[in-house]
Amino acid sequence: MKLKLHWQILIALVLAILYGLFLPEYVGYVKWMGDLFLNALRMIIVPLVLTSIITGVTNIGSEKNLGRLGLKTLTYYVVTSLFAILVGLFWVNLLQPGVGANLGLTQKVTGLEAARQSFGKTLIDIIPKNIFVAFTKGKMLSIIFFALMFGYFITRLGEKHRLILTDLFDAFFEAMMKLTMFIIKFTPLGIFGIVANVVSRQSGHLGALAGSLGVYMITVFLGLIFHATITLPTLVKFIGKLNPVKHAKAMATALLTAFSTSSSSATLPLTMEAIENNAGVSNKISSFVLPLGATVNMDGTALYECVAAMFIAQAYGIHLGFIQQIVVVFTALLASIGAAGIPMAGLVMITIILSAVGLPLEGVGLILAVDRILDMSRTTVNVWSDSCGAVIIAKSEGEKLKVE
């Protein structure tokens, strides 16, 4: 009997943790498997997203449908991210993890200023100067914009050319999906390499878990667990009228990969494959909701931004009043939208909130030591929220799903 893929991944995860803990000096022998796997995923992201969106849009039919889908999707992103932030705000005010924290533990983080880009600039850059530069740099929002426009104008062509291009991109997308499924078979090996390497590098930080940083981590975990197991499943059950447990099972492989890679973007091919093949969402909807979600909708990151900024304020003994906490809520939302779907993106984005409420930017160094495990956890919630959005929206568009 062949073990299901998510069990294989789970076993690989446990073995990798043991390997990283007990054989850290031999990690070079296995790290390459993780590198190969990540390279393969990154290799397919751009063509997969491009062809999937073009195919999706050409199948949507009219611009009225496109507008309605867009509105639903953006509403879902903003509402769930705000819910997540409020949950984080609740826990951080209740547990107060930063009060009395030892500021002497601050580590230096470089490149904070450079990483910060104004929200306005991010919006302007959605229209790329050069689409090929956007492809090579993996600028997701620009690629999505271009694909949406391209797909839309294919539908405006005369019959002959419209059919040629629709068929061409359908075929291209089908081939990309096949390639994706082939790469996914190697997930257990890839994850073994990635996680063994991460654990071997992080085990030195275990001492940090005692004291305030430990409480800080628990605060983030409690918030993430609440959002992932209560808020989102409630929406899936009552708005989507779907079975959240079945849906979680359908997404298991993608969620484990998100946890192991700390990257929503790298996980995107697996999320798309699972949502279409296991949950039964049409490409028309998944191609719209998921690529955009991987860059814009980050509930886990939003929650984390809020808790981290409040923790830093508490550690520096700066009291944030009601109005300032509202500023934290909205800047946390912006920071989560602006964060790229790559490891540690959320950490540097905290500087947006810190400068909005006048906190020292070096505060980020306070939480660096424990960022990786929090990154893994928040990325899982980011991908989980994208997938819940996809099934809820698909259902609201009258699709028949496999996770009812």
Name the site residues for ligand ASP (rule: CB under 6 A): 262-264, 298, 301, 339, 341-346, 375, 378-379, 382
SS3 137: helix
**Nearest distance from C-beta of residue 313 to ligand ASP, angstroms:** 19
**Nearest distance from C-beta of residue 252 to ligand ASP, angstroms:** 18
**Nearest distance from C-beta of residue 346 to ligand ASP, angstroms:** 2
Q: Kindly tell me which of 347 and 392 has the beta carbon lying closer to ligand ASP.
A: 347
Of 352, 358, 364, which is closest to residue 118 (Cα–Cα)?
Answer: 352
Q: Kindly tell me which of 235 and 298 has the beta carbon lying closer to ligand ASP.
A: 298
Q: Kindly tell me which of 339 and 359 has the beta carbon lying closer to ligand ASP.
A: 339
Residue 318 CA to residue 102 CA, distance in Å, equals 14
Question: Could you please report the per-residue DSSP string of 98-134?
Answer: TTT--GGGPPP--SHHHH---HHHHHHTTS-S-HHHH
**Nearest distance from C-beta of residue 258 to ligand ASP, angstroms:** 7
**Nearest distance from C-beta of residue 308 to ligand ASP, angstroms:** 10
Helix (H) or strand (E) holding 213: helix 212-226
Q: Kindly tell me which of 243 and 257 has the beta carbon lying closer to ligand ASP.
A: 257
SS3 281: coil
Q: Kindly tell me which of 54 and 307 has the beta carbon lying closer to ligand ASP.
A: 307
**Nearest distance from C-beta of residue 339 to ligand ASP, angstroms:** 5
Backbone angles phi, psi at 171, to 5 degrees: -65, -40
**Nearest distance from C-beta of residue 261 to ligand ASP, angstroms:** 8
CB atoms within 10 A of CB 207: 9
- Burial (CB < 10 A; 0-12, 13-18, 19+), residue 315, is buried
For CA atoms 31, 34, 37, 43, the dihedral sign is negative
SS3 41: helix
Separation in Å, CA 231 to CA 224, 225, 273, 327? 10, 9, 25, 23
Of 106, 115, 310, 328, which is closest to residue 215 (Cα–Cα)?
Answer: 310
Residue of minimal Cβ distance to ligand ASP: 346
281 — alpha (psi -120 to 50), left (phi > 0) or beta?
beta
Is the CB of residue 315 less than 8 Å from the CB of residue 97? no
**Nearest distance from C-beta of residue 154 to ligand ASP, angstroms:** 31
Question: Could you please report the per-residue DSSP string of 191-260?
Answer: HHHHHHHHHHHHGGGGGGGSSHHHHHHHHHHHHHHHIIIIIHHHHHHHTS---HHHHHHHTHHHHHHHHH
Q: Kindly tell me which of 256 and 339 has the beta carbon lying closer to ligand ASP.
A: 339
Residue 98 CA to residue 91 CA, distance in Å, equals 12
**Nearest distance from C-beta of residue 260 to ligand ASP, angstroms:** 12
Q: Kindly tell me which of 89 and 154 has the beta carbon lying closer to ligand ASP.
A: 89
Residue 139 CA to residue 252 CA, distance in Å, equals 27
Q: Kindly tell me which of 200 and 260 has the beta carbon lying closer to ligand ASP.
A: 260
Q: Kindly tell me which of 240 and 300 has the beta carbon lying closer to ligand ASP.
A: 300
